[in-house]
């Protein structure tokens, strides 16, 4: 029997795909070679855009209840605050970074998935993959060592940075490994550090960043350019205290480490996120510096972009060419994240005294400007990313300067009015609404005389503007739908 979608990997990326696709009525199998979920906190930062998308998909409220909110990131040298990055300026209801351990995010996604009737198959490893014209044949090795051959219409490779699928299909992963060593630990810090701000301490010899996890616990991350912490073992609390005391001017006692690690940064991404019927997402497709806490969020958003397209193609509502838009839409977003995190890493890492002097002098000046603060907050929150140059973007200006491809802001409960299983047409123009109604099943029409009195907005299930136009653009809307979707049976010529 052919399974419509096989998802390989039950990290945040694979779990999001499984939640999305099963919500949309698609049968999925999701397998992970690990016998049990990882207990490591790893990605801590959940960004505003991820919260906007997950809230309407059933897990956002619990995440909010469990996480800690950081509304600013303060830059310091010693005990002197140079400037804050005002994250609360993000143009989003979620105008903060939510600090929540990745293990918790994964647990909540897994529970949502179970509510939708899907269980992660654990201890099941993909050992080989054979692409075919109609299906992909995948070999699974189960806990007892038994092999199973599965034919899948589509495979989602969410199998992490060392992706077996990526290697098996010969997809390159170009980029570089940065030479610096980093350490991190989740621990208690007894001292006068803000509980609602990220604090980044810059020094000539390296940096220390602390991320508030709530109730006195913090993630501390530091560079070790002098290689004081020799060896490969996990850093101890004494070593973290030494790094802290050397760089941070706020006295504190560090204790009760429950997870620590050392790592190097890889900065890489695939040249394409699709190979035939196999789609790559998350760390299988891109890895980069943790600066800015973007990684897990990009993976989750890859899957929100992909899933509605796969679902609509599988249930016959969309043309297969819709799937061609996934990689061209996501790669530019990923390239920007990789570039911006590399620049951030270079600036924070530098041990050059001149660069340090410039950082200390320029940070307050740059961050004193409104435009810089607004752009920085929106970029961290991933709310400025969009698909304007994508193949799907059609038509010109719409509401409040929005252009096709832009993220539609979740204002006045707009996302609660979205059809998360198809396109939503907001129109105050009757002729346009009639076209939308003729595409019943693909398009849900909302009367929106107040929102778009002179025109219309067509919003995708992932909250981006697909197309927009004026009162005379009913034919444009119909043409656009015809290009990507399958006209419902029975729609009359008049309705066109
Ligand atoms: C030490 C550390 C600290 C980090 N800190 C941050 C941070 O602060 N902020 C941030 O944004 N990101 C951080 N990250 C990165 C973040 O954890 C990743 O971006 C995120 O986990 C990616 O999710 P994913 O689902 O794509 O991949 P993963 O979480 O790697 O999940 C892949 C899954 O696939 C499974 N798998 C692999 N191969 C197979 C196979 N052949 N068959 C079946 N299953 C398979 C694995 O068991 C795994 O469960 C950190 C990572 C590490 C290691």
Q: What is the CATH number of the domain that holds 461?
A: 3.40.30.120
Do 439 and 364 reside in the same domain of the chain? no
CATH number of the structural domain spanning residue 312: 3.50.50.60
Q: What is the pLDDT of residues 299-353, one digit of tens each?
A: 999 999 999 999 999 999 999 999 999 999 999 999 999 998 988 888 888 888 8
User: How far, in Å, is the centroid of ligand 1 from the Cα of 161?
Assistant: 7
Ligand 1 nearest atom to the CA of residue 297, by list position: 11
Query: Are 165 and 313 within one domain?
Result: yes
Token code pair at residue 204: 């000539």
Contact 50, 36 (CB under 8 A): no
- Going from the C-alpha of 96 to that of each of 42, 196, 198, the distances in angstroms are 19, 9, 11
Beta bridge partners of 177: 266
How many angstroms does the Cα of residue 26 sit away from the middle of ligand 1? 25
Q: Which of 359, 385, 411 is the last residue of a domain?
A: 385
Quickly tell me which residue has 């052919």 as its tokens: 2
Residues 229 and 336 in one domain: no
Exposed, middle or buried, 67 (CB in 10 Å: 0-12/13-18/19+)? buried
Q: Which atom of ligand 1 is least distant from the CA of 263? A: 1
Q: How far is the CA of 295 from the centre of ligand 1 (A)?
A: 9
In a domain, residue 191? The reply is yes
Give 60's strand partners: none
Do the domain assignments include residue 452? Answer: yes
β-bridge mates for residue 185, sequence order: 220, 260
Q: 341-397: per-residue pLDDT in tens?
A: 988 888 888 888 888 888 888 888 999 899 999 999 999 999 999 999 999 987 766
450 burial (CB, 10 Å; 0-12 / 13-18 / 19+) is exposed
- How remote is the CA of residue 153 from the centroid of ligand 1, in Å? 25
Low-confidence ranges of the chain (pLDDT < 70): 227-231, 396-400, 491-496
Q: Which residues line ligand 1 (CB under 6 A)?
A: 8-14, 31-34, 42-45, 102, 125-126, 158-160, 164, 261, 263, 282-283, 290, 293-296, 299
Place of tokens 């006209």: 487
Q: With respect to residue 493, please indicate whether it lies within any of the assigned structural domains.
A: no
**What are residue 453's phi and psi, to 5 degrees?**
-65, -35
Whose alpha carbon is nearest atom 26 of ligand 1? Answer: 282
Whether residues 208 and 328 fall in one domain: no
Residues 146 and 122 in one domain: yes
Here the tokens at position 481 are: 């739908």
Residue nearest to atom 37 of ligand 1 (CA): 159
57 domain residue, yes or no: no
Structural domain count of the chain: 3
Instruction: Find out whether 47 and 298 touch, Cβ atoms under 8 Å.
Output: no
Does residue 115 share a domain with residue 13?
yes
With respect to residue 448, please indicate whether it lies within any of the assigned structural domains.
Answer: yes
> Does the residue 230 lie in any domain?
yes
Q: From ligand 1's centre to the CA of 267, what distance in Å? A: 15
C-beta separation of 33 from 120 below 8 A: no
Parent domain of 133: 2-44+101-174+268-349
Q: By the 8 A CB rule, do 440 and 488 touch?
A: yes
Residue 247's CATH number: 3.30.70.2450
Q: Are residues 358 and 319 in the same domain?
A: no
- Total H helices, total E strands in the chain: 12, 25
480 and 414 in a single domain? The answer is yes
Ligand 1 atom closest to Cα of 34? 47
Question: Is 305 in the same domain as 451?
Answer: no
Ligand 1 atom nearest the C-alpha of 124 is 43
Q: How far apart are CA 101 and CA 71, in angstroms?
A: 17
End-to-end CA distance of the chain: 39
The closest alpha carbon to 291, from 236, 224, 346, 214, belongs to 346
Beta partners for 312? none
The reply to whether 305 and 443 lie within a common domain is no
Q: Is residue 496 domain-resident?
A: no
Residue 496 has a pLDDT of: 37
Q: How far is CA 99 from the centre of its chain?
A: 15
Q: Give the chain's mean pLDDT.
A: 92
Q: Are residues 143 and 28 located together in one domain of the fold? A: yes
Q: Judge if 241 and 375 occupy the same domain.
A: yes
pLDDT of residue 493: 42
Is residue 492, in this structure, part of any structural domain at all?
A: no
For residue 37, the ligand 1 atom closest to its alpha carbon is 49
């Amino acid at each position: 029997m052919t399974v419509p979608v096989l998802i390989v990997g039950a990290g945040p990326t694979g779990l999001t795909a499984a939640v999305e696709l099963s919500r949309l009525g698609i049968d999925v199998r999701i397998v992970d070679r690990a016998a049990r979920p990882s207990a490591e906190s790893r990605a801590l930062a959940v960004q505003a855009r991820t919260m906007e998308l997950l809230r309407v998909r059933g897990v956002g409220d619990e995440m909010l209840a469990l996480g800690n909110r950081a509304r600013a990131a303060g830059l310091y040298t010693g005990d002197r605050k140079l400037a804050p990055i005002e994250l609360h300026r993000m143009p989003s209801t979620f105008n903060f970074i939510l600090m929540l351990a990745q293990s918790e995010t994964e647990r909540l996604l897994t529970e949502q998935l179970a509510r939708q009737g899907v269980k992660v198959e654990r201890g099941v490893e993909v050992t080989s993959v054979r692409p075919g014209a109609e299906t992909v044949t995948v070999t699974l090795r189960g806990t007892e060592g038994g092999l199973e051959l599965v034919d899948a219409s589509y495979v989602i490779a969410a199998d992490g940075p060392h992706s077996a699928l990526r290697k098996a299909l010969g997809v390159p992963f170009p980029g570089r490994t940065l030479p610096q060593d980093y350490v991190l630990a989740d621990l208690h810090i007894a001292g006068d550090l803000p509980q609602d701000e990220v604090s980044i301490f810059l020094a000539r010899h390296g940096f220390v960043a602390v991320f508030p996890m709530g109730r006195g616990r913090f993630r501390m991350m530091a560079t070790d350019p002098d290689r004081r912490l020799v060896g490969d073992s996990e850093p101890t609390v004494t070593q973290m205290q030494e790094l802290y005391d050397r760089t941070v001017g706020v006295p504190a006692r560090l204790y009760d480490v429950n997870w620590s690690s050392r790592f190097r940064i890889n900065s890489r991404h695939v040249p394409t996120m699709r190979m035939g019927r196999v789609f790559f997402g998350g760390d299988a497709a891109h890895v980069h510096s943790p600066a800015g806490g973007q990684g897990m969020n990009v993976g989750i958003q890859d899957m929100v972009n992909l899933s509605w397209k796969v679902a609509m193609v599988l249930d016959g509502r969309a043309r297969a060419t819709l799937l061609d838009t996934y990689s061209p839409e996501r790669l530019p977003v990923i390239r920007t994240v990789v570039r911006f995190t590399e620049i951030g890493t270079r600036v924070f890492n530098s041990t050059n005294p001149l660069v340090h002097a410039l950082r200390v002098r320029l940070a307050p000046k740059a961050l004193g400007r409104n435009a810089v603060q607004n752009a920085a907050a929106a970029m961290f929150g991933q709310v400025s990313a969009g698909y304007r140059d994508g193949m799907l973007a059609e038509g010109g200006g719409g509401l409040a300067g929005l252009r096709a491809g832009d993220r539609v802001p979740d204002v006045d409960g707009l996302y609660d009015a979205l059809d998360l299983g198809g396109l939503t047409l907001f129109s105050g123009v009757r002729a346009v609404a009639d076209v939308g109604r003729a595409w019943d099943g693909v398009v849900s029409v909302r009367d929106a005389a107040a929102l778009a009195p002179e025109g219309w907005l067509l919003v995708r299930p992932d909250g981006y503007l697909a197309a927009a136009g004026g009162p005379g653009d009913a034919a444009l809307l119909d043409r656009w739908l015809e290009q990507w979707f399958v006209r419902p049976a029975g729609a009359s010529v008049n309705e066109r």
